[in-house]
Structure 1
Amino acid sequence: MYYYRPSQARGRARFGWLDSRHSFSFGHYYDPNHMGFSVLRVINDDTVIPGAGFDTHGHRDMEIISYILQGAIEHRDSEGNRLVVSAGEIQRMSAGTGITHSEYNHSQTEQLKFLQIWIEPNRQGIKPSYEQQSIPQRDKLTALITPDGSGNTLSIHQDTSLYRLQLNTGESITIQTHERPGYLHVIKGEASVNDKSILASGDGLGLFKKQVQLKAIKNSITALWFDLPAN
C-alpha cells in the first residue's frame, strides 16, 4: 500500500520573504487527507529571501528538524543557543516543555533553502534541547538521526530514524522496512520505486511494504528516507 504526495499538489504559502511548499497540512493550508504520515507531521520546503526569516515564536512537545539545502540559517533560541547552520548540516531541536526561537537567512545577498520537518515525540514534557551536525555521506543510505544518537548521528525522542539517500545514475538500493512505515522525500533527481512508480524532486511516497527498491534514473538522486513507527 502506498501514500503518494506529488510535488505539484502540495500546499503553498507565499509572503514575499518566504515561499513555502507544504507536504502536509500546515498553517493556513489544511487538507484532511494530508495530515501527516505515522509520526511525521510536517515537511515544509522553504525558500527565504536574503536577510529575512522567522521572528521569535514558540513551540511545545515537538521534534523539529531543519535540513539546509542552500545557504545558512542563523538560529537563536531561549536555551541560549546562538548558531549558524550551513548547507549540508542538519539541526534537531526538541521543544519539550516549551522553547522560543528565531531563524533567519544568515546572508544579506543569497537566498536560503531548507526543509523544515516536524516529528511528534514519544514522550511529552521533556527538557528542551538542541543539536546540529554535518554528517558526510558514508554509503548509499547514511543515517542522520537515530533514537539513541548512535554512530555519529543526532538523537531524537521517537522510535524514528532519518537517512540521506544518494544514488548515482543507474544505481539502485533495496531498503528492508521490517514491516514498518517508511516515507521517502525526494530532494533532487528522479527515481523509480519497485520498477514502477517514478518520483521526482519534491515528491513524497509513504509505504507499508517489507522492502522497497529504489533506482536513480536519468540523473543522480538525493532524498530523505524516514523509518517510522507503526501507529
Structure 2
Amino acid sequence: MLRKIDNTIKYGKQHGGFGIQILYPGLIMPELNDTGFSTIGRIDQARITPGTLIPMHPHKDDEIFTYLRRGKVKHKDSEGHMDTISNQKLMMMNAGSSFYHEEKTLEEDGTLEGLQIFIRPEVKGLKPQVQFHQLPEAYSLNQWRKIAGKDNDYPLQIRSNTWILDMQLQQGEESFLPELSIEDTSFLFYVFNGDIQVNADVQLRTGESALIENENPTFIAIETTDIVLFITQTNAKHFDGGMYSGNLHK
C-alpha cells in the first residue's frame, strides 16, 4: 500500500526569521487516532534566516535529529556541548528525562534549510545525551546512506526501532527501497527537495512524502532530488507522550 502525503496536510508556522512546515504523519490515517505513525512523531521542514536565535528551551522524551542541507547553526545545550551543525555535521539529541538547547544560525552561511525530526523513544525518562557525526561528503549520490538508527552500524543511535537513511537521486536515475532484514517494516519516503516519479501514477515534489507498506515501488528522479527515508515497524514499542514527538490526540 502506498499513501501519498501532500503539503496540504502540513501546519505552517512563521515567527520572525524562523519558518517551519510541520508534518504529523499519522494524520494521513485518521483511523489510528495518532498524530504520529508508530515511532515517527513529527517532522519539521525549516527555513531560517541568518542570525536568527532560537533561545534555550526544553525537550522531554524526544529523540531529536537535526538534518541540514544548507546553512550552519551554532548549537549549545544543557549537557555542556557547543558545536556548529551543517550539511556534513549531523546531530542527534536524545532528550530523555530533561534537556535544554539553543540554536543560532550563522550570518555568513546564508539561509538555513533542513529538517528537525522528532522520533519516539521506547520508554520515557531515559538519560539525556547528545551525539554528533561528521559525514565525509554532504550527499550520497544514487545510493542509500545510513544516518541514524537502532543498530550499531548506524552512526547516530536512536533509542527505538527506527532507522533513517538519505540519498541524492540524480536526474533520470532510478532507485528502489533498501533491502532490510527487519520484519513488519513501514517506510516514510520524504522528498526534501526535488521531484520524484513513483511507479507510473504518483509524483512527489518538495516537502511531500509517501507512506509505504508491503510494496516496493520504483522511484525515478524527474530532477535531482534529495530524499530522506524513515523506517519503522507498525507495532514497534514506543512512548507517545514526548513533548514534541507525542500524540496530540492524547
Distance 1:31 1:3 in 2: 8
Q: Is the 8 A contact 1:37 1:206 kept in 2?
A: no
The Cα shift of 1:165 comes to: 2.1
Q: Is the 8 A contact 1:51 1:109 kept in 2?
A: no
Relative distance call for 1:158 and 1:80 in structure 2 (3 A) is: same
Q: Is the 8 A contact 1:84 1:106 kept in 2?
A: no
String of CA shifts for 1:80-131, please: whole Å, max 9, x gaps.
0011101233211100111111111122672222211000011322211111
Distance 2:15 2:143 in 1: 37
Q: Match of 2:161, SS?
A: coil
1:143 to 2:138 alignment: no
Selected match of 2:157 from 155, 158, 162: 155
Gaps of 5+ in 1: none
Which region of structure 1 is more displaced relative to structure 2, 140-149 or 108-117? Answer: 108-117
Relative distance call for 1:98 and 1:228 in structure 2 (3 A) is: same
Distance 1:65 1:8 in 2: 24
Q: Match of 1:212, SS?
A: coil
Q: Is the 8 A contact 2:169 2:227 kept in 1?
A: no
Distance 1:32 1:52 in 2: 35
Q: Which residue of 1 aligns with 2:225?
A: 221
Q: Match of 2:54, SS?
A: strand
The Cα shift of 1:193 comes to: 1.5
Q: Map 1:78-97 to 2 at 5 A.
A: 78-97=78-97
Q: Is the 8 A contact 1:38 1:181 kept in 2?
A: no
Q: Is the 8 A contact 1:146 1:160 kept in 2?
A: yes
Q: Map 1:29-108 to 2 at 5 A.
A: 33=30, 35-107=35-107
The Cα shift of 1:169 comes to: 1.7
Distance 1:90 1:220 in 2: 22
- Partner amino acid, structure 1, of 2:95: A
Moved over 6 A (4+): none
Q: Is the 8 A contact 1:76 1:82 kept in 2?
A: yes
What TM-score, normalized by structure 1, do the two folds share?
0.88
**Aligned residues with identical type, % of pairs:** 24
Distance 1:228 1:168 in 2: 26
Q: Map 1:203-222 to 2 at 5 A.
A: 203-217=208-222, 219-222=223-226
Relative distance call for 1:138 and 1:112 in structure 2 (3 A) is: closer
Which region of structure 1 is more displaced relative to structure 2, 64-73 or 105-114? Answer: 105-114
String of CA shifts for 1:29-61, please: whole Å, max 9, x gaps.
x99948122211111111112211321111111
Q: Is the 8 A contact 2:65 2:118 kept in 1?
A: yes
Q: Which residue of 1 aligns with 2:203?
A: 198
- Partner amino acid, structure 2, of 1:166: Q
Gaps of 5+ in 2: 236-250
What TM-score, normalized by structure 2, do the two folds share?
0.82
Q: Which has the higher strand share?
A: 1
Q: Which residue of 2 aligns with 1:185?
A: 190
Distance 1:7 1:89 in 2: 28
- Which has the higher relative contact order, 1 or 2, with Cα contacts under 8 A spaced 6 or more apart? 2
- Partner amino acid, structure 1, of 2:167: L
Aligned alpha-carbon RMSD (Å): 2.3
